[in-house]
Amino acid sequence: MKAETTKVDLWIKKRLLNEIIYRVVIWSIVSIMTYFILSHTVGFSVIGFFKSYMPKQIDLINRAFPLAFIFTLAATLFRDMAACEKSIWGEETLFGIVGIIVRKFCAEALLWSAALSYGSFFIILITLIQVLPSETSVNPVARGIVIYRIVLLLFVTIANLGCYYFIRREGKSFFLEATSSKRLNPLLYIVAILYAGGGLYIGT
């Protein structure tokens, strides 16, 4: 059975940017609903919720950036190989099917990471708006640290969505446009993936 196709679906499929805008709107609505439901539970405390929900943003960034970079490189590597060697990496071949699965997985993983970081950013921002005006005794340095962490979460979200856009967009990748070499191109990807893997290892 096929899924229905609505005007919203058609609008999303027109441009990749439309899909990203649609997802951000949905994430915002879900975050607001989550906070609204939690705030009406018995014994709910805004400050307590803020302290318990505040994630370790630096730790998240140390893992998110290298992972996003690795996912992006892996996905674009398979796309470039399909563009260079269609007889081996085309959609009809076994390697091509593996490449499609890898690209889909990487794209979904980036979206999941973006949704997680954006949800954390949005809920913490809502809580912060309620807490800071009433907490006049809060140290200015502490406020600055909280705001700094929120900005970092937003930056992680934008980075993940940027990588998702890079994976899903049409056209050649930067490496393929720069080298146009069937042999050098995979080599550049492997070096870049190893570099990102080293950054992930150091971050952990």
Q: What is the pLDDT of residues 104-127, one digit of tens each?
A: 888 888 898 888 888 888 877 877
Structural domain contains residue 17? no
Is the per-residue pLDDT at 56 higher than 70?
no
Residue 191 lies in a domain: yes
174: in domain:
yes
C-alpha distances (whole Å) from 9 to each of 3, 4, 16, 28, 166 are 11, 9, 12, 19, 21
Q: What are phi and psi of 123, to 5 degrees?
A: -70, -40
pTM: 0.79
25 lies in a domain?
A: no
**Token duo for residue 55:** 């994630």
Per the structure, the count of domains in the chain is 1
Q: Which two tokens stand for residue 121?
A: 């950013």
Q: For tokens 């915002």, what's the residue?
A: 28
Token couple for 181: 């070499």
| Domain membership flag for residue 14 | no
Give the tens place of pLDDT for each residue, 149-174.
Answer: 788 888 888 988 988 988 888 776 76
Please give the residue that has the higher pLDDT: either 183 or 81: 81
On whether residue 8 sits in a domain, the answer given is no
What is the span of the domain harbouring residue 138? Answer: 45-203
Crossing angle of helices 94-131 and 16-39, rounded to 10°: 40
18 part of a folded domain:
no
